[in-house]
Structure 1
Amino acid sequence: MTDAVETEPRHPVLNVFGRIPATLTMIAVILAVGVVFAGLWSPFEDNPLYEPVAYGLPALLEGRWWTPITGTFFVNHPLVYVFTIGSFVGMGYLEFRRGSRVALAYFGVGQLFAIFAGALLLWLFALLPWPWAQQEALALDVGPSGGTMACLAAAAGLLNAPWRVRAWAILLGFSAVTLFFWGSLSDLEHALAIGLVLFVDRSLRFQRTTVREQRLIAFVSVLALLAIDVLTFLVPTDGPFGHTDARDGSLIDLAIDAVIILIIANGLRRGRRWAWVLGVILGSFNVLTGVVLVGLMFVPGASIESSVGDPSVAIAQSAIWLGLLVYLIWVRGAFRARRKATIGVGDEPTLDEVKEMLRSHGGGTLSWMTTWGGNSYARTSGGIVAYQKRAGVAIVLADPLGPAASRSDSVSELIAMAEGAGLIPCFFSASEATKDAVPTTWRNIVVADDTIVDLPGLEFTGKAWAAVRTSINRAGREEVTFRMTRLRDESWGVQQQLRAISEMWVGDKGLPEMGFTLGTLDEAMDPEVRLAIAVSTTGDVEGFLSWLPVYGEHGKVRGWTLDLMRRRDGGFGPVMEFLIGSSAKLFSEEGAEVMSLSGAPLAHDYPPDAGAIASLSDWLANMLEPVYGFGSLHRFKEKFHPRYETMYLLFRDESDLTRIGAGLTRAFLPDATLRQFAGAGVELVRGERD
């Protein structure tokens, strides 16, 4: 019998390196060649060895057949090493995902295709009276960029949606801009390598992208054209269509173009039809201009420089505008949003309809919050969805209302309607069922754990319930009484005490009371909301809770959800334990099934392998603890031994998070001022120091 040898797990970085040996070998060989032939510190293109090892049309015509191989391992200038080594990231990712053989195949075929196809095209184009082709047909080049670009393109095809299309758009845009405006031999080779993988892999399918993604690509493409305008104004170009000097043009014309393009870009981002029409008109004008200029270049004696300046930039831009014009026409259905587009089928449901839907078909522990002010309602084919429109985001609160069988369809319809209206859809505090109903490409973040106490057979016995029993016994000794009531039924004096307690609590925070999923005394005035009050022998209110109804089917209340928790400073110590314990006992006696203590935001217990999301959540929880005490609240609720149901933020992808964050901030704090935010920030800093 042999003893098992325990080995320590390797660092994650070492694990990654262990799976990309081919990539690391290529980098090592290129660096070694740079050291041996001094290319790391002096321009190799000045070295006498450059011509014998460099590839290009002259090398092939002169019979130097080895140059496509030898030239791959040299770099022409020390500064280019930074970009060359960085470009191997695509090969590394490809090797990590699909293995060394596949990565080497893409690199080798891409490199050789770029070299030979580039030489063939230049040989053909040089037969025409085209100065650029005749000049580049004499050029030589070194470097592995054809192969690394092919690997980058192949790696883009492995990404998940929507990043696959975005990566392809960046690669195609990069190759088009560098080819049309600078047009060196290496730029041509990059475009050919990317084009080869695009043809072979067929992983770029615009028709399978979402409406939002189609708008985003149009938005970024138009901004890229503006960037090209600025870049060609500041930097000289020397592309296939001619040479331009820096600042060759009117600054006023550039400013006017920038304003027009920015207006169109913003309209395309929001899916506006007028922006699409203007984009098509502007694109058509640019394409026609380019066609005319190209035609005039072949007319003997025609002089076009006098009327339009150097035509090279205009022709190159028209070529890029042609691609954008084709794309805009292809995805024209994505640009139908109206300025005041509404979400929903038919008229917006009334509040009474929402409540009736809840009573008829039931809902989750947060569903009653959809009846609060600030929410809008979208009618779907089988139900109703409550949402708030904030910062261009449609923030859906909790789960859709209606028959259980229709809720999945309501999710899909809401997403389509929000995107059609130019809004970013997301679902906040959604359940597992809604998480399963969104598209598989969507992302999710845990925002809280709903803490649920099952009431049937509830008894405060055993050591685990000692804190609750102690609070109830102490309340009896100090003659603190419990009363379940409704706020609107209480006297003016009691209501004023409740408001004073609440205002004192809010004043300590520096920020106004949070909304959206956290109610106030205004919401507690609803006759269907119950109030638990602890009153001393002198008539002072020691603390209070508000309970929201949780409806099951057929109008039956199957449980209650905790909303407000307020206590008087200096009053009865364990008042919260006393109120919650007494409420639970009463609800259990009434036949309720569940009691939800609601979810404490940013207090989820993540598994050890949760990664960056867990770290971010924990950091935010620590930062916000001095202001709102989410972590303390979560620990307090553990005294009642609840079970947990995860609540999620569901969203399309990470690029939406900035807008969603701004929207949620305004949803929770719609009335907060900049001064209040600044004051809360000071409190956060103090908490960090403590």
Structure 2
Amino acid sequence: MSAAVGYTGTVYGLAAIRRLPLTLGLVLFLWVVGAVTGSLIAGPNEALLEQVGLGLALDAGPGWSIFTSSFFASSLLDYLACSVLILVGVGIAERTMGPWLALAAFIFGSALSALVLMGLVAFGTDNSDQWLSFLGGEYVVGAYGGAAAALGCSTAALEALWRRRLRTWLLAATLMFALFVGVAQTLQALAGAVIGILAGWAVQTLVLRRRAGSLHSSSLRETRFLVGTVVGVFALGPLLTQLTGTLEVGPLSVVSEVMLQASPSVDEVKEACDNDKSCVTLQSVVGVQSFGATILTVIPVLLLLVCAEGLRRGRRLAYRLTLVIQLYLAFVTSVAILQYVTDPEVTLGNDDVGYLLLYAVPAILAPLIIAALLLVNRHKFRVESSDAGYRVLGRTTLIMAAVAAALYVVFWFVEGNPNRSSLWDLAGQLTHILVPFPVPFVVELPQGLLSTVLYGLGGDVIWLCILVMVLNNFQRFRTLAKDPAADLGHTRELLHDGGGTLSWMALWDNNQYWFTPDRRAGLAYQVHNGVALTVAGPFGARQHHTEAATGFLAHCAALGLTPCFYSATSELDEALLPRGFRKLEVAEETLLNIQAMTFKGKEWQNVRTALNRAEKLSIKDHWYHYAEMPPGIRAQLAEISEEWVADKALPEMGFTLGGLDELKDPEVMCCVAVDDDGLVHGVTSWLPVFTDGVVSGWTLDFMRRRTTGFKGVMEFLIASAVTHFKDDVPHISLSGSPLANTGAATDDGDHSALDRVLAMLGNALEPMYGFKSLAAFKSRFQPEHRTLYMYYRDPLALPSIGLAVGLAYLPGLSRAQSAGLLRQMVAREPAA
């Protein structure tokens, strides 16, 4: 066993070396050089550092240092960080550009970013800049500039979606480190990122004469993405300064003072407790020095990250919350600086003024700039939650805040705090619980067990609940249809103009509708988990289908939804593939050319047997619209359907699978197998397919049989449909079997994560719904096959899309049933 594991590890290791020889070689070279020179633990010694390090003093050192500085690090932790950056930056560059171009990008990016860093420090020193001049007089080592340059250059070789994302994330990350940490290596990384991106753009457009290509997305989506990224960077920056300890010297490093709750020191706690040991112990367990205080420190970061995600989705709630937070931070920072400047005991010298200009002004300007950015783009964040969602969020928040405040006031008085503190301190302590950001004044700590517990943990409970509710609110949408009945009626009219074999399902419940501006075509879709999942492709006159598909993309962008076309035919290739979409095979539709079917030959033996048996048992096919059925037959259909549903561990499925309610459509035909005693043995329903106002086909939907009915009733019913429709239409569709064909490769060989998720879902549902056995049954009719695809654009949205598909098919799933389905999905073998 151990030998097999060792062999497998060796195989994977050799594969990695073959894929990334340059990247792994650079990492190995970095560590070997560090080990040989004794630099791994504390960096190069002083004599070696003067020769290989990048000098930021007046004497810049030898010229080769702009190259050699990239192959050393300042400490063991720095060696680990540089190794990760090389593996990510150079690794991606090597996979996309090849080893030689990646090596060139790393080496020249290191050298150029080093020169830029030296120039910036020299300029800051000459102009007495407090920040840049502080960086002078030291030696810098690290692979930061080269790795960032290689990654930035490699983005030119990526597809538009990933090119935009990687460039945005790279610039955002390096800018965050530069502004909040601000050491020389972070400035070099920022310079390397800019140099690499510019170099990639120049090679692509000027040398290779290739256009950079369209971003394949609207400016609306781009603006939301960029604004959300800015807010996310500003959220993570203060946390980064706390994690890096005394290293931070960046202009925005002081933002953490006004954004994150600071835990008092041990001496401050002792002073507040009057050296009472029990009080100090209580504060360390459940008070201001406990784990709860640490969580409270992170909550502002989580809140802004949630807002950043909401901004990316175009949410109005996220816009309002972010705007209030930024204005609050600017106000608190201004008050704190004003208090310091106007303090009569403080005398400001030239150095103090310089530090205020360097750190205080940016700390005020940063939230104001973000607030201005939000205000300028306010019309791009208009996606509203449902009215019920707003009511739940507002009511629950107010109740939690009121209960917490009331309890704290009661505990505060009962435990004798008025004897030690004032009502002003009580007000400050309440803001500590209800406001996740630091308050601009000092308050006394509470005394007593209950008040200390609520003071230390109350804010955590309230704000964590609020964060969960806000995220849940982002999943809700205000009803868009002003007149749902009119939209449904117009959809029926367009379906008569044209559509696919599954388009009639657009009339079913739980669907929303979008129409082109001239209302000549449209799409039906459902919103689940932030995904707009279409019901097949566009409907209406065929010449308008491309316009409908592309217009729907803009509609989804406006709502902050992820578009996904489900169970669509390849007719959407022309409209979607050039816009960066990919497609995944989700089903095989079975089409019958009924004009050529005679049921002769060995391959039709099962069908002929079913027809003969039905004749012997005096079972005949009766064709009805549901409203025309005799009451006795309708009662038996309900009985058969309930029997079928009761036999399943999960509720009846929806989305592209109709039930008894869908039979009631006045244009749907039903074929019922009835014997001479009036006993219904089975039923099928058929959905019409129109072209230019004329029925051009029929699609099988509802299939149910009585458990005690004669064997072969379904073969009999489908054969009866072939005979019934033969004189009217050229073909009929037996529809696709959902989730029965997942796991198959797409035309581009894509085996995506979603493919695996859908395969797991299909395997879990197979024992209960028999999709694969249904597909095998349909193959008895010698059909022609047509692939149905799912079109998606964003690979990062695949988990959300997979969940959306599951929610669409099983909308009434209870928590217990969801848990059972999840267990079945992860089981090695499906349940019997």
TMscore range, shorter length: 0.7 to 0.9
TM-score (norm 2): 0.72
Q: Which among 75, 80, 87 is matched to residue 85 of structure 2?
A: 87
In the alignment, is the contact (CA less than 8 A) between 2:757 and 2:802 conserved in 1? no
Distance, in Å, in 2 between the alignment partners of 1:30 and 1:681 is 45
One-letter code aligned to 2:159: N
Structure 1 pair 329–436 and aligned structure 2 pair: CA distance change class (3 A): farther
Of all paired residues, the percent bearing the same amino acid is 32
1:191-270 alignment runs, 5 A limit:
191-202=190-201, 209-210=217-218, 211-232=220-241, 236-237=245-246, 238-241=248-251, 251=261, 261=304, 265=308, 268-270=311-313
Q: Which moved more, 1:329-338 or 1:419-428?
A: 329-338
Q: Secondary structure at the match of 1:364?
A: coil
One-letter code aligned to 2:718: I
In the alignment, is the contact (CA less than 8 A) between 1:232 and 1:313 conserved in 2? no
Q: Which moved more, 1:122-131 or 1:274-283?
A: 274-283
Determine the structure 2 residue equivalent to 1:143: 142
Report the alpha carbon displacement of residue 34 of structure 1 after superposing the two structures with TM: 3.1
Q: Which runs of 5+ in 2 are unaligned?
A: 1-10, 203-211, 263-295, 387-477
Distance, in Å, in 2 between the alignment partners of 1:208 and 1:351 is 31
Q: Which moved more, 1:572-581 or 1:335-344?
A: 335-344
In the alignment, is the contact (CA less than 8 A) between 2:673 and 2:713 conserved in 1? yes
Tell me the alpha carbon deviations over residues 218-269 of structure 1, each in whole angstroms, 9 at most, x when there is no partner: 2243233223344445653521449769978873997896697468546523
Report the alpha carbon displacement of residue 47 of structure 1 after superposing the two structures with TM: 7.1
Structure 1 pair 680–207 and aligned structure 2 pair: CA distance change class (3 A): closer
In the alignment, is the contact (CA less than 8 A) between 2:589 and 2:786 conserved in 1? yes
Determine the structure 1 residue equivalent to 2:107: 108
Determine the structure 1 residue equivalent to 2:348: 302
1:258-337 alignment runs, 5 A limit:
261=304, 265=308, 268-272=311-315, 276=319, 301-302=347-348, 317=363, 321=367, 324=370, 328=374, 334-337=380-383
Report the alpha carbon displacement of residue 349 of structure 1 after superposing the two structures with TM: 4.1
In the alignment, is the contact (CA less than 8 A) between 1:358 and 1:402 conserved in 2? yes
Structure 1 pair 586–12 and aligned structure 2 pair: CA distance change class (3 A): farther
Report the alpha carbon displacement of residue 27 of structure 1 after superposing the two structures with TM: 3.2
Determine the structure 2 residue equivalent to 1:363: 499
Report the alpha carbon displacement of residue 37 of structure 1 after superposing the two structures with TM: 2.7
Distance, in Å, in 1 between the alignment partners of 2:822 and 2:320 is 45
Determine the structure 1 residue equivalent to 2:682: 543
Q: Which among 507, 512, 516 is matched to residue 376 of structure 1?
A: 512
Structure 1 pair 96–665 and aligned structure 2 pair: CA distance change class (3 A): closer
Distance, in Å, in 1 between the alignment partners of 2:610 and 2:177 is 74
Report the alpha carbon displacement of residue 416 of structure 1 after superposing the two structures with TM: 1.3
Distance, in Å, in 1 between the alignment partners of 2:64 and 2:150 is 23
One-letter code aligned to 1:68: I
In the alignment, is the contact (CA less than 8 A) between 1:43 and 1:76 conserved in 2? yes
Q: Which among 617, 628, 637 is matched to residue 478 of structure 1?
A: 617
Report the alpha carbon displacement of residue 190 of structure 1 after superposing the two structures with TM: 0.7
Is the aligned partner of 1:446 residue 2:585? yes
Q: Secondary structure at the match of 1:688?
A: coil
One-letter code aligned to 1:634: A
Determine the structure 2 residue equivalent to 1:7: none
Report the alpha carbon displacement of residue 409 of structure 1 after superposing the two structures with TM: 0.9
Q: Secondary structure at the match of 2:150?
A: helix
One-letter code aligned to 1:352: G
Q: Secondary structure at the match of 1:29?
A: helix
Distance, in Å, in 2 between the alignment partners of 1:298 and 1:192 is 35
Structure 1 pair 577–312 and aligned structure 2 pair: CA distance change class (3 A): farther
Q: Secondary structure at the match of 1:363?
A: coil
Structure 1 pair 102–683 and aligned structure 2 pair: CA distance change class (3 A): closer
TM-score (norm 1): 0.85
Determine the structure 1 residue equivalent to 2:65: 67
Determine the structure 2 residue equivalent to 1:676: 817
Distance, in Å, in 2 between the alignment partners of 1:141 and 1:441 is 42
Q: Secondary structure at the match of 1:84?
A: helix
Structure 1 pair 492–457 and aligned structure 2 pair: CA distance change class (3 A): same
Distance, in Å, in 2 between the alignment partners of 1:507 and 1:483 is 26
In the alignment, is the contact (CA less than 8 A) between 2:43 and 2:74 conserved in 1? yes
Determine the structure 2 residue equivalent to 1:6: none
Structure 1 pair 12–402 and aligned structure 2 pair: CA distance change class (3 A): farther
Report the alpha carbon displacement of residue 116 of structure 1 after superposing the two structures with TM: 1.8
Structure 1 pair 259–545 and aligned structure 2 pair: CA distance change class (3 A): same
Determine the structure 1 residue equivalent to 2:751: 611
Determine the structure 1 residue equivalent to 2:267: none
Larger relative contact order (Cα-Cα within 8 Å, sequence gap ≥ 6): 1
Distance, in Å, in 2 between the alignment partners of 1:105 and 1:295 is 51
Q: Which among 719, 733, 736 is matched to residue 596 of structure 1?
A: 733
In the alignment, is the contact (CA less than 8 A) between 2:148 and 2:193 conserved in 1? yes
Q: Secondary structure at the match of 2:155?
A: helix
Structure 1 pair 666–236 and aligned structure 2 pair: CA distance change class (3 A): same
Report the alpha carbon displacement of residue 574 of structure 1 after superposing the two structures with TM: 1.7
Q: Which moved more, 1:125-134 or 1:261-270?
A: 261-270
Q: Secondary structure at the match of 1:445?
A: strand
Tell me the alpha carbon deviations over residues 186-213 of structure 1, each in whole angstroms, 9 at most, x when there is no partner: 1121111112223444499998753234
Report the alpha carbon displacement of residue 682 of structure 1 after superposing the two structures with TM: 5.5
Tell me the alpha carbon deviations over residues 591-610 of structure 1, each in whole angstroms, 9 at most, x when there is no partner: 32111111112233734944
Is the aligned partner of 1:493 residue 2:629? no
One-letter code aligned to 1:369: M
Is the aligned partner of 1:688 residue 2:827? no
Q: Which moved more, 1:408-417 or 1:97-106?
A: 97-106
One-letter code aligned to 2:568: A
One-letter code aligned to 1:302: L
Distance, in Å, in 1 between the alignment partners of 2:570 and 2:260 is 58
Structure 1 pair 421–148 and aligned structure 2 pair: CA distance change class (3 A): closer
Structure 1 pair 615–55 and aligned structure 2 pair: CA distance change class (3 A): same
Q: Which moved more, 1:138-147 or 1:110-119?
A: 138-147
Determine the structure 1 residue equivalent to 2:409: none
Q: Which moved more, 1:509-518 or 1:439-448?
A: 439-448
One-letter code aligned to 1:145: Y
Tell me the alpha carbon deviations over residues 523-556 of structure 1, each in whole angstroms, 9 at most, x when there is no partner: 1022221112222444322211111111122x32
In the alignment, is the contact (CA less than 8 A) between 1:118 and 1:192 conserved in 2? yes
In terms of fraction of residues, the more helix-rich structure is: 2
Distance, in Å, in 2 between the alignment partners of 1:326 and 1:101 is 45
Q: Secondary structure at the match of 2:585?
A: strand
Report the alpha carbon displacement of residue 31 of structure 1 after superposing the two structures with TM: 3.3
Tell me the alpha carbon deviations over residues 623-682 of structure 1, each in whole angstroms, 9 at most, x when there is no partner: 321232221111111111212222222233133334444444443333332233334446
Determine the structure 1 residue equivalent to 2:49: 50
Structure 1 pair 414–243 and aligned structure 2 pair: CA distance change class (3 A): closer
Structure 1 pair 245–296 and aligned structure 2 pair: CA distance change class (3 A): closer
Distance, in Å, in 2 between the alignment partners of 1:387 and 1:208 is 22
In the alignment, is the contact (CA less than 8 A) between 2:640 and 2:704 conserved in 1? yes
Distance, in Å, in 2 between the alignment partners of 1:519 and 1:18 is 52
Q: Secondary structure at the match of 2:657?
A: coil
In the alignment, is the contact (CA less than 8 A) between 1:626 and 1:683 conserved in 2? no
Tell me the alpha carbon deviations over residues 11-46 of structure 1, each in whole angstroms, 9 at most, x when there is no partner: 999677546544444334323323423445x33335
Tell me the alpha carbon deviations over residues 369-422 of structure 1, each in whole angstroms, 9 at most, x when there is no partner: 112232232231232322234444433212222221111111222221232234
